[in-house]
């Protein structure tokens, strides 16, 4: 937004300071030396008795510059603005709710050391890419629960995520709808614009028809693709159902990212989250830039003229 059509004043009440300026200029003009001496000196002698009379009305005179200085100063205090900038203490990154699935399949070791442990590593890497961002953690299986409300302390989220296991969940199952509804509720209660990240290895096909309408959430798929070697020990490791995952991502109006051995997956998600919070606007976390500071240089130049030789006399005549 750099168009002058957005020009406005941040503090327009400062324009009232122009009223005493006009009064002061009028009083100074009434108190000029020639006006006072006119009462006691004949008009034909007055021009020859006053010093600096030849150029008392020349521009720029002290009275002119006083008015100009006051006018520019009042405009600067009023705060002209036509551009936006990021607020210094505003949230430059959108909030994020991480909904982590804690079903028994998350203990499978087709992704080393296990799907769940790799998920906690990905949470740590994602938070490292978004320092200072508000993050909440939700765990779900047959029911959904808030593990950590919104916080900017990434270490707390990492510690709580590292302690989660399927054994802690009170009800078995895979209720994606409840997890998404709880995530949306957290954002609404905190009055934050942000994103939801669903970390899971499977989404039941029958859950697609029950997804919350208008809900947006990205999916981080924590399952190995079909054909990947499956460890003999450990719980069953169903391969990635890419078709169902992608269908769920389309239904949620977002994207599905497969887990990777490097950090390319979390980097992709971080770029998506930081572009613009879902449900937010590009102007959130911004403020109008105060352009009144640009007028300090003209004010300084006007003050320099007060040091011109002979101006003390010109004020009197």
pLDDT band at 279 (very low <50, low <70, confident <90, very high): very low
Higher pLDDT, 87 or 20: 20
Better-predicted residue by pLDDT, 311 or 180: 180
Residue 286, pLDDT score: 59
List of E strands, 102-208: 135-140, 144-151, 194-200
- Which domain does 77 fall in, by range? 4-86+287-314
Confidence of residue 4 (pLDDT cuts 50, 70, 90): low
Q: Is position 282 within any domain? A: no
- In this prediction, residue 92 carries a pLDDT of 54
> 280 in a domain, yes or no?
no
Which position has the higher pLDDT, 274 or 34? 274
Report pLDDT for 44: 67
Q: Which residue has the higher pLDDT, 116 or 225?
A: 116
> Does 18 share its domain with 61?
yes
In this structure, the answer to whether residues 99 and 178 fall within a common structural domain is yes
| Per-residue confidence (pLDDT) for residue 144, from 0 to 100 | 95
Task: Look at the pTM and tell me if it is higher than 0.75.
Answer: no
* pLDDT, position 173: 92
Mean pLDDT of 244-253: 90
Phi, psi angle pair for 19, to nearest 5° = -65, -50
Which of the two residues, 219 and 26, has the higher pLDDT score? 219
Same domain, yes or no: 76 and 218: no
Max avg pLDDT among 63-67, 81-85, 148-152, 235-239: 148-152
| CB-based contact 132:192 (threshold 8 Å) | no
State the CB neighbour count (10 A cutoff) for residue 303: 11
Non-local (6+) Cβ contacts of 287 within 8 A are 84, 85, 86, 87, 90
Same domain, residue pair 153 and 242: yes
| Residue 145 shares a structural domain with residue 206 | yes
Mean pLDDT confidence for 176-200: 91
Q: Is residue 64 part of a domain?
A: yes
Residues 63 and 199 in one domain: no
Asked whether residue 208 carries a pLDDT value surpassing 90, the answer given is no
* Tally of domains within the chain: 2
- Average pLDDT of the segment spanning 174-192: 91
31, HSE (Cβ side, Cα atoms, 13 Å): 9
Say if residue 145 is in the same domain as residue 228. Answer: yes
- Has residue 281 been placed in a domain? no
Are both 49 and 178 inside the same structural domain? no
């Amino acid at each position: 937004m750099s168009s002058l059509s957005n020009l406005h004043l941040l503090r327009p009440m400062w324009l009232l300071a122009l009223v005493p300026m006009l009064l002061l200029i009028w009083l100074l003009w009434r108190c000029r030396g020639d006006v006072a001496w006119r009462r006691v000196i004949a008009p034909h002698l007055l021009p020859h008795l006053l010093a600096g009379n030849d150029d008392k009305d020349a521009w720029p005179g002290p009275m002119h510059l006083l008015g100009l200085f006051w006018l520019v100063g009042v405009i600067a205090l009023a705060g002209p603005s036509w551009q936006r900038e990021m607020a210094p203490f505003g949230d430059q990154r959108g909030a994020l709710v991480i909904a982590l699935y804690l079903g028994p399949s998350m203990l499978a070791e087709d992704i080393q050391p296990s799907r769940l442990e790799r998920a906690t590593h990905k949470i740590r890497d994602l938070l490292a890419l978004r320092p200072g961002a508000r993050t909440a953690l939700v765990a779900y299986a047959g029911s959904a629960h808030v593990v950590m409300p919104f916080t900017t302390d990434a270490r707390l989220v990492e510690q709580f995520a590292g302690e989660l296991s399927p054994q802690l969940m009170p009800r078995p199952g895979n209720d994606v709808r409840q997890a998404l509804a709880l995530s949306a509720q957290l954002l609404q209660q905190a009055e934050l614009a942000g994103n939801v990240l669903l970390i899971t290895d499977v989404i039941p096909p029958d859950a697609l028809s029950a997804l919350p309408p208008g809900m947006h959430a990205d999916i981080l798929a924590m399952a190995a693709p079909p054909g990947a070697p499956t460890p003999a020990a450990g719980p069953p490791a169903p391969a990635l159902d890419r078709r169902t995952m992608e269908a769920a991502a389309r239904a949620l109006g977002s994207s599905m990212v497969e887990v990777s051995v490097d950090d390319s997956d979390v980097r992709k998600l971080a770029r998506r989250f930081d572009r613009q919070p879902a449900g937010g606007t590009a102007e959130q976390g911004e403020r109008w830039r105060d352009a009144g500071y640009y007028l300090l240089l003209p004010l300084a130049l006007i003050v320099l003229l007060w040091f011109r030789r002979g101006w003390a006399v010109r004020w009197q005549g």
